[in-house]
Amino acid sequence: MTAQIISGTEVAKQIREELKQEIAELKEKHNVVPGLVTILVGADPASQVYVGGKEKTSKELGIYSERYDLPAETTQEELLALIDKLNKDPKINGILVQLPLPKQINETEVLYAIDPKKDVDGFHPVSLGKLMIGEPDYIPCTPHGIWQLLIRSGVKVDGAEVVVVGRSNIVGKPIANILLQKKEGANATVTVCHTGTKDMSFHTKRADILIVAAGKAKAITADMVKEGVVVIDVGVNQIGTTSEGKRILAGDVDFETVKEKASAITPVPGGVGPMTITMLMLNTVRAAKLAAGLTEEGE
């Protein structure tokens, strides 16, 4: 068996086309223009790439975009004052503060300061609480991307044994919560493994769907999965560079060996990664519709 490749690049492209049409209709029929602001503190190269990608995608889809590049020595008080101003700005539907932040700034306080109605990253405790009870306004972007990959690839989640490796607030906990909800595209039995799990293989071998966000290159090998498993690899790890200086990337799954046992698998790169920014755009459009009264909370 050689696995079907689940292409996040292709699925993201499909969703972006849908969003482009929806944004055009919002402008034409309701005079609503979704607005997203990104805030970058410092000059971390990876963060600059991420923020640039978000800004570029916003413009391509017709989303109004603002960007704040703040110096690394920005104080917490200055950042909170900017967030407060943006919370009150009706042109802005979504506020995204790029993480990580410099050491002098408390990330938790910053995330809590964002108006939950503009929390398009889905990290505010109000957003996560609504997700847990099955009435989310905004689903965190990477877990939402994983869910869409499963749904749009025709993977049967209802009744499946899902094993999630990793328990972060950004990926592991939210995707586990999404998939155990009694809803279409979910209703799975979910096990979450982590650094305290005694026998990882015991759990991963039971998985019909294996979602790996461990943060360790090639942590999941072929002997740890069963035939026919669907594998979603969230990890992006640099394992070297080419002679031209380009990064060599690997996921948290040993792709070359696991793909021979899996029925479907995401590649790295080109799997979960392209979905994350796309889901941010989807959340921004939803935020604009909520602000305009064009949809209900928790729908």
User: Nearest to residue 97, comparing CAs of 152, 50, 131?
Assistant: 50
Fold agreement (30-116, 141-273): yes
Q: Which residues contact 202 (CB under 8 A, 6 or more apart)?
A: none
pLDDT at 192: 98
**CATH number for region 141-273:** 3.40.50.720
pLDDT at 158: 98
- Contact present, 188 and 210 (Cβ < 8 Å): no
pLDDT at 2: 79
Q: Residue 165 and residue 1: Cα distance in Å, rounded?
A: 24
Active-site residue (options: 54, 173, 261, 289): 54
pLDDT at 299: 62
Q: Any idea where the domains of the chain sit in the sequence? A: 30-116, 141-273
Distances (CA, A) of 281 to 37, 108, 137: 11, 23, 14
Residue 189 bridge partners (DSSP): 161
User: Nearest to residue 264, comparing CAs of 255, 273, 274?
Assistant: 255
Distances (CA, A) of 232 to 118, 143, 176, 209, 274: 29, 11, 13, 8, 13
261 given a catalytic annotation: no
pLDDT at 242: 81
Q: Is the dihedral of CA 159, 163, 166, 171 positive or negative?
A: negative
Active-site residue (options: 119, 121, 208, 233): 121
pLDDT at 1: 65
Give pLDDT tens digits along the chain (299 positions).
Answer: 678 999 999 999 999 999 999 999 999 999 999 999 999 999 888 788 888 889 999 999 999 999 999 999 999 999 999 999 999 999 999 999 998 999 999 999 999 999 999 999 999 999 999 999 999 999 999 999 999 999 999 999 999 999 999 999 999 999 999 999 999 999 999 999 999 999 999 999 999 999 999 999 999 999 999 999 999 999 988 888 888 878 888 899 999 999 999 999 999 999 999 999 999 999 999 999 999 999 877 66
4 given a catalytic annotation: no
Residue 240 bridge partners (DSSP): 248
| Model confidence pLDDT, tens digit, residues 249-293 | 889 999 999 999 999 999 999 999 999 999 999 999 999 999 999
- What is the assigned CATH class of domain 30-116? alpha beta
54 given a catalytic annotation: yes
pLDDT at 126: 96
